[in-house]
Amino acid sequence: AQTVTQSQPEMSVQEAETVTLSCTYDTSESDYYLFWYKQPPSRQMILVIRQEAYKQQNATENRFSVNFQKAAKSFSLKISDSQLGDAAMYFCAYRSAGFNKFYFGSGTKLNVKP
Amino acid sequence: KAGVTQTPRYLIKTRGQQVTLSCSPISGHRSVSWYQQTPGQGLQFLFEYFSETQRNKGNFPGRFSGRQFSNSRSEMNVSTLELGDSALYLCASSLAGGLGEQYFGPGTRLTVT
């Protein structure tokens, strides 16, 4: 079975600074998708960014970008110009291409200091 | 489009009782997945339904069951509730295939006393 590991339970960043959240995964599959989801306190989980494994180019969405290292099975999320609204739990997730079954990491709580 | 909705939002039950949670997916989405979220275990996959059939299943006991209706709405049932079943139950819908992005509902907070 696939596993997703987020080794940083909690991180803090100063407003306007940059922070990187780490994620590693274990799989024997070659085709899959990776996601970062954000869950603000007491609010709905929303998708931040996604990456297709067959694409070498790293995905970017405004201030959010990923560093996808397929050989190393690493998928980190970089948040630039951090804002107070970025404070949330961030979950890394894996989905194989053939099955609509997601595997989530344990999450990283991001604190943003004003 | 309206998002994923879940009812009820909060629920308090007694150990030994059973409970049914409901999820309405985004219009056009035929896949509905259920997750249990707890502080200690994180997000754990329960099962996925597609076209009224359970397509994927996680490692939960048989007390946890679900079903999907022809309009893609889904229900999850937990029988003989245990204290450890206290959790946030999340439902997510997606278009089967494609990029496989899941859209989450707000969750049902279940407390078992």
Q: Is B48 on the interface with A (CB under 8 A)?
A: yes
| Tens-place pLDDT, residues A2-54 | 899 999 999 999 999 999 999 999 999 888 999 999 999 878 899 999 999 99
Q: Please tell me if residue B91 touches chain A, with a CB cutoff of 8 Å.
A: no
Which residues from chain B sit within 8 angstroms of residue A45, using beta carbons? 90, 104
Flag if A102 and B31 touch (Cβ within 8 Å).
no
Sorted by sequence, the CB contacts under 8 Å of residue B112 that are 6+ apart come out as: B12, B13, B14, B15, B81, B82, B83, B84, B85, B86
In order, the DSSP letters of A75-96 are: EEEEE-S--GGG-EEEEEEEEE
Q: Is B56 exposed, middle or buried (0-12, 13-18, 19+ CB in 10 A)?
A: middle
Q: How far is residue A88 from each of residues A12, A45, A53, B49, measured CA to CA in Å?
A: 11, 10, 26, 29
Long-range contacts (CB closer than 8 Å, 24 or more residues apart) made by A63-67: A64/A36, A66/A34, A66/A36, A67/A20
Task: Write the pLDDT tens digit of every residue in B12-62.
Answer: 999 999 999 999 999 999 999 999 999 878 889 999 999 899 988 889 999
Stretch A62-88: mean pLDDT, rounded?
97
Nearest residue of chain A to residue B92 (CA atoms): A45
Q: Tell me which chain B residues have a C-beta less than 8 angstroms from the C-beta of A92.
A: none
Residues 6+ apart with CB under 8 A from A55: none
> Which position has the token pair 């922070």?
A19
Give the residue from B79, B83, B101, B109 showing the smallest Cα distance to B17: B79
Q: Return d(Cα B9, Cα A101) in angstroms, integer.
A: 24
Which chain B positions have a beta carbon within 8 Å of A43's beta carbon?
Answer: 106
- List B residues 59-88 in contact with A (Cβ-Cβ < 8 A): none
> Residues of A with CB below 8 A from B96's CB?
100
d(CA A96, CA A75): 15
DSSP state for residue B25 in the 8-state scheme = P
Residue of B35, B101, B106 lying closest to A47 (CB–CB): B101
User: In chain A, pLDDT over 70 holds for what percent of residues?
Assistant: 99
**Confidence band (pLDDT; 50, 70, 90) for B98?**
low
Chain-chain contact of A91 with B45 (C-beta, under 8 angstroms): no
Cα–Cα distance measured from residue A60 to residue A50, given in angstroms and rounded to the nearest whole number: 9
